[in-house]
Chain A
Amino acid sequence: MKKYIIDFCVSSNEALGNNAILLKLKAPGQMPEMRPGQFVEVKVENEPNTFLRRPISINYVDRSKNEMWLLVQKVGNGTRKLGELKAGDTLNCVVPLGNGFDTSAVKGKKVLLVGGGVGVAPMLMLGATLKAEGTTPTFLLGARTKDMLLEQDLFEKNGQLYVTTEDGTAGEKGFVTNHSILEKENFDKIFVCGPTPMMKAVAKFAKSKNICCEVSLENKMACGLGACLCCVTETQEGHKCVCTDGPVFNINELAWQI
């Protein structure tokens, strides 16, 4: 898939719960092809402590408006600066990066999309893509508390939505792996994005049930292009770059002890 360096124009920057923002970015020309699970490297301007680009997963692509959405959690200087962007500002992105989720063999199958915290971001585009291809997905999204659940209305439009919160303020109380839907339904494939302990817990469940499972990793990276070799993860075949061999890996490829 051809990669581009594009100056996007900020259409809107909306503050959401969980210290997150939703950036809608208009492409100046034709929006490049991109797959669910891919990411962009954004250049943070005027922030002296942010030297490198920031990898952000693609939340959604609205082709009718020529917009790409980024759901960003403000965790450091760089992402906080992104929170200050206003409509009309420019955001330079290298796009699209990474492999994306493998949706080739899921047509008509029961597919579960699990997201935790801001890790729900790529699940919206994945769910919408699956639905458009005729496979209505099931979403299972987890957060610490009700206010930290993101984009609930959008997920509901694209499939069946189940929720867990650690404090029980919404959905079932507990972690995503405690949700009753996992016992009630038999899923053929699970896609996961979120904190590593959550992904490992879901991967363990999937492995025990012999369900095909893909996870999206979020290692620290510099180039995003497979050049610097900083973002490697241990796999069955040695070190692989999360930026180009991933960020999505089948759990059987990884050297996880699960």
Chain B
Amino acid sequence: MADLTTHIGNLTLKNPVMTASGTFGFGLEFADFVNLEEIGGIIVKGTTLHKREGNPYPRLAETPMGMINAVGLQNKGVDYFVEHTYPQLKDINTQIIVNVAGHSIEDYTACAERINALEKINAIELNISCPNVKEGGMSFGTSCPMVEKVVGAVRKVYDKTLIVKLTPNVTDIAEIAKAAEHAGADSVSLINTLMGMAIDAEKRKPLISTVTGGLSGACVKPVALRMVWQVAKAVKIPVVGLGGIMNATDAIEFMLAGASAIEIGTANFIDPAITVKVAKGIDEYLERHGFKSVKEIIGALEV
């Protein structure tokens, strides 16, 4: 067996496979299908300072090789997470990472501060990219000055590993990544969902309540791969790659493009046991190609 250990700043992952926020609940929902401790990191559902009801139904449209969602950050708020969810997660022997979202800088910092106090949570993923929040979730992630402002503010109150999740709905994602790096991010993860739309022609109506939503699944992989490649060349901090990863080969492609770790999202809906299969598949690839450590394939693309 090859050494699958990888690092995101000071964070050590036993293997490069993590779960994308919003696709794996709090991990517990999948405990019947996988041993959660065989997953490198579990990034739990996006958490905001206050409880959010999310968007009205319908929130989902299936598209060719993918889906559009408009959940709108439905969650019970950080206090509920700290009091009720964290106690159920803290003894799971893997990295548990909280995805932090918000609609003002004060929301982000207050939420990050609460999570900072949790002993067994060694990292947060700052969601500055959810396209579903009207109040400005999008705007934080689409301009360099706003990225610097929000990442800088969270950096001041959060002293563990800070991963910043980037939206692909920008002109130049490498510039945004550099802004996050400059403001003190330990890592960037990308891509969040691509803004998309689906229509019912017969009814002449949009298929989801918010008209537009976030596209994910196999169909976004080529775009995600390209962006990871561009960002990995532009920044010195480690990059976490995600977007349409359905199997181990997809995951390996992201690592070759420069990702130090990967996240599996929509694929969890189709195969609830996919995470451990991908970890196993990466190991088999490394063995087959004679690599001793997964680190040898990070950015190993031969151009």
Contact = CB atoms under 8 A, between A and B. Distances in A.
B57 to A, nearest CB: 6
Contacts of A227: 22-25, 29-30, 45, 268-269
B30 A51 contact: no
Contacts of B200: none
A219 B45 CA distance: 21
Interface in B65-79: 65-67, 69, 71, 74
Contacts of A51: 62-67, 217-218, 270
B127 to A, nearest CB: 15
A156 B184 CA distance: 70
Interface in B196-234: 217-218
B59 interface: yes
Interface in B42-64: 45, 53-54, 56-60, 62-64
Contacts of A4: 32
B284 interface: no
B288 to A, nearest CB: 26
Interface stretch (A123-131, A167-175, A228-236): A228-236
Contacts of A219: 57-58
B60 A220 contact: yes
Contact of A48 (B24, B64, B269): B64
Given A51-B218, A233-B57, A226 B67 contact: no
B270 A226 contact: no
Contacts of B33: 3, 5
B273 A231 contact: no
A238 B63 CA distance: 28
Given A225-B30, A232-B54, A49 B270 contact: no
Nearest to A225: B29
Contact of B60 (A3, A226, A230): A230
Contact of A228 (B22, B53, B271): B22
Interface centre among A5, A50, A228, A234, by most B CB within 10 Å? Answer: A228
A221 B59 CA distance: 9
Interface in A182-226: 219-226
B60 A239 contact: no
Nearest to B69: A230
Interface in A6-52: 43, 48-52
Given A227-B25, A228-B60, A3 B268 contact: no
B242 to A, nearest CB: 16
A238 B25 CA distance: 18
B32 A3 contact: yes
A5 B218 CA distance: 21
Interface in B238-280: 266, 268-273
Contact of A229 (B30, B63, B64, B71): B71
B74 A226 contact: no
A225 B60 CA distance: 15
A144 interface: no
A225 B57 CA distance: 17
Interface in B1-58: 22-25, 29-30, 32-33, 45, 53-54, 56-58
Nearest to B73: A229
B74 A239 contact: yes
Contacts of B63: 51
B65 A229 contact: no
Nearest to B19: A227
Given A5-B33, A51-B62, A238-B53, A228 B269 contact: yes
Contacts of A228: 22-23, 60, 69, 71, 269
Contact of A232 (B23, B25, B45, B74): B74
A149 interface: no
A52 B272 contact: no
A163 interface: no
B244 to A, nearest CB: 11
Nearest to A4: B32
Interface centre among B22, B25, B64, by most A CB within 10 Å? Answer: B25
Given A52-B269, A222-B269, A225-B25, A230 B59 contact: yes
Contact of A222 (B53, B64, B67): B67
Interface string A63-101: 000000000000000000000000000000010000000
A52 B75 CA distance: 23
Interface of B: 22-25, 29-30, 32-33, 45, 53-54, 56-60, 62-67, 69, 71, 74, 217-218, 266, 268-273
Given A94-B272, A227-B29, 16 more contacts: A3-B32, A4-B32, A49-B64, A51-B62, A51-B65, A51-B66, A51-B217, A52-B270, A225-B25, A230-B69, A230-B71, A231-B59, A232-B57, A234-B57, A239-B53, A244-B29
9 contacts: A5-B271, A50-B62, A51-B66, A52-B270, A222-B266, A223-B272, A232-B74, A234-B56, A239-B57
